[in-house]
């Protein structure tokens, strides 16, 4: 089994790559600029007894050159196939995130999320699922902000909400071929230095979440690995929330 994970040189993408390796997948580790991070993740995959490949690709392509994005996505999938085999699991994790006030959201800000986030995710998803046979699965990483808006994150939240609908739309298109498309919507993901960088936000999250804490990257990654597995063969067209119960409570 072969998995391709985008944005896997660190953070959540890296955790997903390792969870898939633990589940028995060879893993293609995509990165845009952090080659050293990608190599570290690939080494960790190899240490688990699985094959690994690092694949550089910049999918942030100008909006006026759509053919270049088509070619970049096809090239990424071709290189994965050459190194490890055609991926039967693709996890679309790469996505930009910037905090911007509402009055600062000019056309360039909206274009940035479309160009670097939504459009490459949709194009790569379509190309990857077209290459999959029965049993193939794609997992799209959304966000709880795609379900409930957050102050200062309007453009990001709108783009993530579009990904959630993309999951449903794509699932209907590819389902007759036995291919699944599912999503995950992580809440606040704990990381080193998070509480120091955003003490008020973390405190509010702890006060609201049913479990009284953020989620971990390993918890999200484990859910992704489950959704990509044959055990979840009846799950498609939906987005699973992983937020320690934050969305079960009212308010931010």
Count other C-beta atoms under 10 Å from residue 203's C-beta.
11
Q: Is 94 within the bounds of a domain?
A: yes
Q: Across-strand partners of 90?
A: 4, 138
Whether the CB-CB separation of 43 and 52 falls below 8 Å is answered with yes
With bands split at pLDDT 50, 70 and 90, how would you rate the model's confidence at 220? Answer: very high
pLDDT of residue 32: 94
Q: Is 249 within the bounds of a domain?
A: no
Count other C-beta atoms under 10 Å from residue 245's C-beta.
15
Determine the distance from the C-alpha atom of residue 224 to the mean position of all C-alpha atoms in its chain, rounded to a whole number.
Answer: 9
Q: Which of residues 25 and 113 earns the better pLDDT score?
A: 25
Q: Is 199 within the bounds of a domain?
A: no
Phi (first) and psi of residue 127, to 5 degrees:
-65, -40
Q: Is 220 within the bounds of a domain?
A: yes
Q: Is 155 within the bounds of a domain?
A: yes
Q: How far apart are CA 151 and CA 126, in angstroms?
A: 32
Q: Is 22 within the bounds of a domain?
A: yes
Q: Is 207 within the bounds of a domain?
A: no
Q: How far apart are CA 249 and CA 202, in angstroms?
A: 15
pLDDT of residue 85: 97
133-172 tens-digit pLDDT? 999 999 999 999 889 888 888 888 999 999 999 999 999 9
Domain ranges, residue 151: 2-188+216-244
Among residues 31, 113, 156, 205, the one annotated as catalytic is: 156
The first and second tokens of residue 157, run together, are 């939240």
pLDDT of residue 237: 98
Q: Which of residues 196 and 235 earns the better pLDDT score?
A: 235
- Per the structure, the count of domains in the chain is 1
Which residues, including other chains, have CB under 8 Å from residue 6's CB and lie 6 or more apart?
13, 30, 59, 90, 91, 92, 93, 94, 124
Q: Which of residues 21 and 153 earns the better pLDDT score?
A: 21
Q: How far apart are CA 55 and CA 207, in angstroms?
A: 40
b (16+ CB within 10 A) / e for 154-173? bbbbbbbbbbbebbeebbee
Q: How far apart are CA 231 and CA 221, in angstroms?
A: 16
156 a catalytic residue: yes
Classify 57 as helix, strand or coil: coil
Q: Is 206 within the bounds of a domain?
A: no
Q: What is the CATH number of the domain that holds 139?
A: 3.40.50.720
Question: Locate tokens 């449903």: which residue?
Answer: 168
Whole-number average pLDDT of the chain: 93
């Amino acid at each position: 089994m072969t998995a391709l994970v985008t944005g896997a040189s660190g953070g959540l993408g890296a955790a997903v790559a390792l969870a898939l390796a633990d589940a028995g997948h060879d893993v293609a580790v995509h990165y845009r600029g952090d080659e050293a991070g990608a190599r570290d993740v690939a080494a960790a995959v190899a240490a688990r007894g699985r094959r690994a490949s690092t694949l550089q690709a910049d999918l942030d392509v100008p909006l006026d050159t759509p053919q270049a994005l088509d070619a970049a996505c096809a090239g990424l999938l071709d290189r994965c196939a050459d190194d490890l085999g055609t991926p039967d699991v693709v996890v679309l994790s790469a996505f930009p995130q910037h905090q911007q006030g509402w009055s600062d959201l000019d056309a360039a800000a909206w274009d940035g999320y479309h160009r670097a986030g939504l459009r490459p995710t949709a194009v790569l998803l379509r190309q990857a699922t077209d290459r999959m046979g029965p049993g193939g699965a794609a997992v799209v990483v959304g966000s709880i902000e795609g379900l409930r808006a957050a102050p200062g994150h309007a453009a990001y939240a709108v783009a993530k909400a579009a990904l959630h609908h993309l999951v449903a739309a794509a699932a209907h298109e590819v389902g007759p071929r036995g291919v699944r498309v599912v999503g995950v919507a992580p809440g606040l993901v704990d990381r080193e230095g998070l509480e120091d960088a955003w003490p008020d936000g973390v405190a509010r999250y702890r006060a609201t979440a049913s479990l009284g804490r953020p989620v971990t990257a390993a918890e999200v990654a484990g859910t992704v690995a489950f959704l990509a597995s044959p055990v979840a063969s009846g799950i498609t067209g939906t987005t699973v929330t992983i937020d320690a119960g934050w969305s079960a409570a009212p308010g931010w």
